[in-house]
Amino acid sequence: MFNVRLHHLKLRHKLTVIYILCVFIPIVLTNVMFYNVTTNNIKNQKTSDAEQAMHQLKSELGAVIDDAAGISYLFSIDRLLTNHLNTDHLTYDRYVESLNEITHLFNRSDKEYRTISSVLIMSDNPSILDSGHIIRLDDSARSQEWYGRIENHNNTYPHLYVTHDSISVIQKLSDSRVQPYEHVLKIDLNMNYIRQLLELSSFEGDIYLLNPAGEARYGRLAGGQPSPQISVDQTIMQDDITLPNKAIVIGQQYQNNRYLSNWTVYGVLDEEKILYDVRQSGQFILWFAGINFLVPTLVIAIISGSIHTRIQNILRHMKSVKGKNFERIPYHRERDEVGELAVEFNRMSDRIEHLINDVYEAELQKKELALRQRQAQLHALHSQINPHFLFNALETIRMRSLMKGESQTARTIQNMAKIFRKSILWKRSFVTIREELELMESFLEIQKYRFDSKLEYHIEVDQSLLDIEIPKMTFLPFVENASIHGIENIPGIGYITIQIAQEGGQILFIIADNGVGMNREQIRELEHYFDEETAMGDSIGMKNVLTRLRICYGDSFTFTISSDPGGGTRILLRLPMEKLEDGSSS
């Protein structure tokens, strides 16, 4: 029965079963066992290394604090310093003389101890003057947290005071039973040096400094940054420190030290981070096992299904010929019989497809081309008829106005037809100033018809400039703007003065009106609008003109506008005498 079932399995399936049972499963089991053993060994080694790093860090940090405590002891037994602090200095000179006798103490600490940031003595002796290392002990100093920590301590031993950003050794230098004044020594450690110790430590996790009460007074994260959980107004307990999901905690406590007793260097390791490389190796094992499974399986399937798959592919392409689909069979120079069959099928499909294309599709393309030519001719005739019809209509209206005696209306229609004809028939990008003037005068006459006696204009032109070419419709938009926006809204007669002259090898176009004008804010907004890189559409406005001038002349032209509210507007445009070669025609 079992042999009969095996006979029904395809060859590629049999090869796959042999590979899974004899190769893949044994390899996977071996790799999994090796991975588990390696992970435990590395975890134990990393933990041992972390304990050694914490012990070394504890020793180095203790040595730095011991240095500060040693300085504190030297200051506490120095008789000259004690006399200086407890003496009532009657004059400034005596105080300076006494201060010079103890300067060597501070010089020594400043030069010999790079682990010390500052040494400061505070005294409530009223004759003490603030001088660098010695300052007054006032109420503001007594209100500080560090003073409250040593207020009830004697002067026998120093006290360690730690905050989120500083570590200090504080000691009382006075005995209230025998000395008249109170003196406090505060030694601040060099925090750059402390941070360097922590950064150079081989411990790879978070580090905290816990006081005897279990409060985390200082902290550094694994990346070298201060712990965000410890701040000026927030101190957390040891049990409240945020731990990773799988944490390895290492604590090194100071013993047999009066000022460091029961302080703890507390370290937190993330097991996932220290075992990251091992986890990556585990993923590599999984990937490798997957590749070991997939690649041989694919090879077996490809080899066993080579003949079957290609024959099915040929059959599918032969059936597709019925639907006029002459897709070629991919051929990779196979030398067996199936490959030769594919070559012959491709050759046959190619000849049938070429025959159809040469006879049938060529005729369709010829008819489509003829149809497109007729449509193009029809569109050309339409584009010629439309302007011609409008010109004839305007001419009919003008003649009718003359017959009725409306000569002013007839002239206006004639000017309008002239403007329209020039805008349609001008096929050049550049026109002469003479042609531009004719367009401007036609427009101004239309405006006079509109405003009646409210509009007057005057044009002065240097006759030698009339045949010089400029971009078409360069001046007209400024004239339109002056008549519509400047003159329309004033109560009296509007005057427009236009001057075209030359100066310094440049063409000067000046247009001025006595219209409503603009304030400085409106002028700035207008200039900002001209400089914006925005689309203009099809309108022919001042922005359109300035854009075209930039294209034609680059930076060789200038444009200035000046105006006052109620005082009219003046525009000055300077153009080069010669146009650019690439902008001479459209």
Question: Is pLDDT of 498 > 90?
Answer: yes
Give the CA distances from residue 177 to residues 147, 154, 155, 502, 580, in Å, rounded to whole numbers and listed in that order.
19, 11, 11, 102, 101
Confidence of residue 409 (pLDDT cuts 50, 70, 90): low
Tokens linked to 491: 């109560």
* Cα diameter, the chain: 131
Alpha carbons 372 and 365: distance in angstroms, whole number = 11
> Which amino acid, one-letter code, is at 288?
F
Tokens linked to 162: 């730690």
Alpha carbons 264 and 251: distance in angstroms, whole number = 6
Alpha carbons 301 and 295: distance in angstroms, whole number = 10
Percent of the chain at pLDDT above 90? 6
Residue 223: inside a domain = yes
Residue 4 burial by CB count (10 A; 0-12/13-18/19+): exposed, middle or buried?
exposed
Residue 278: inside a domain = no
**Based on C-alpha coordinates, what's the Rg of the chain?**
49
Confidence of residue 257 (pLDDT cuts 50, 70, 90): confident
Average pLDDT over residues 14-26: 74
Decide: 472 and 430 in contact? Cβ < 8 Å: yes
Residue 410: inside a domain = no
Q: Where a domain ends, among 228, 246, 273?
A: 273
The model's pLDDT over 534-547, given as tens digits with 9 standing for 90+, comes to 544 434 478 888 88
Q: Where a domain ends, among 255, 273, 291?
A: 273
Question: Is pLDDT of 156 > 80?
Answer: no
What backbone phi and psi angles, to 5 degrees, belong to 117? Answer: -90, -45
- Top mean-pLDDT range of 313-327, 368-382, 406-420, 550-564: 550-564
Q: Tokens 């304990």 label which residue? A: 51
DSSP letters, 297-315, are HHHHHHHHTHHHHHHHHHH
79 membership: H or E segment, kind and range: helix 79-86
Question: Is pLDDT of 419 > 70?
Answer: no
Decide: 228 and 242 in contact? Cβ < 8 Å: no
CB-facing half-sphere around the CA of 530: CA atoms within 13 A = 19
Confidence of residue 585 (pLDDT cuts 50, 70, 90): very low
CATH no. for residue 558?
Answer: 3.30.565.10
Which DSSP category does 21 fall into? I
3-state secondary structure of 200: helix
Alpha carbons 575 and 561: distance in angstroms, whole number = 15
CA-nearest of 102, 111, 100 to 183 is 102
- The whole domain housing 244 covers 201-273
3-state helix, strand, coil in the chain (%, to 5): 55, 20, 25
Choose the weakest-confidence range: 367-371, 445-449, 504-508.
Answer: 367-371
The model's pLDDT over 429-444, given as tens digits with 9 standing for 90+, comes to 788 889 888 888 887 8
What backbone phi and psi angles, to 5 degrees, belong to 135? Answer: -135, 175
Question: Which residues on adjacent β-strands are paired with residue 131?
Answer: 134
Chain-centre distance for alpha carbon 97? 62
The model's pLDDT over 208-220, given as tens digits with 9 standing for 90+, comes to 888 888 888 777 7
Confidence of residue 393 (pLDDT cuts 50, 70, 90): very low
Residue 209: inside a domain = yes
Q: Where a domain ends, among 250, 273, 296?
A: 273
Residue 218: inside a domain = yes
If one counts the domains in the chain, the total is 2
Crossing angle for the helix pair 542-553 and 520-531, nearest 10 degrees? 50
Alpha carbons 174 and 185: distance in angstroms, whole number = 10
**For residue 397, what pLDDT is reported?**
57
Chain-centre distance for alpha carbon 485? 44
Percent of the chain at pLDDT above 70? 74
Residue 300: inside a domain = no
Question: Which residues on adjacent β-strands are paired with residue 560?
Answer: 572
pTM for the predicted model, two decimal places:
0.45
Residue 256: inside a domain = yes
**For residue 508, what pLDDT is reported?**
93
Question: Is pLDDT of 28 > 70?
Answer: yes
Across the chain, mean pLDDT equals: 76
Q: Tokens 């060099």 label which residue? A: 190
More confidently predicted of 507 and 302: 507
**For residue 538, what pLDDT is reported?**
39
Question: Is pLDDT of 30 > 50?
Answer: yes
Chain-centre distance for alpha carbon 462? 56
Residue 525: inside a domain = yes
Average pLDDT over residues 35-55: 82
**For residue 580, what pLDDT is reported?**
52
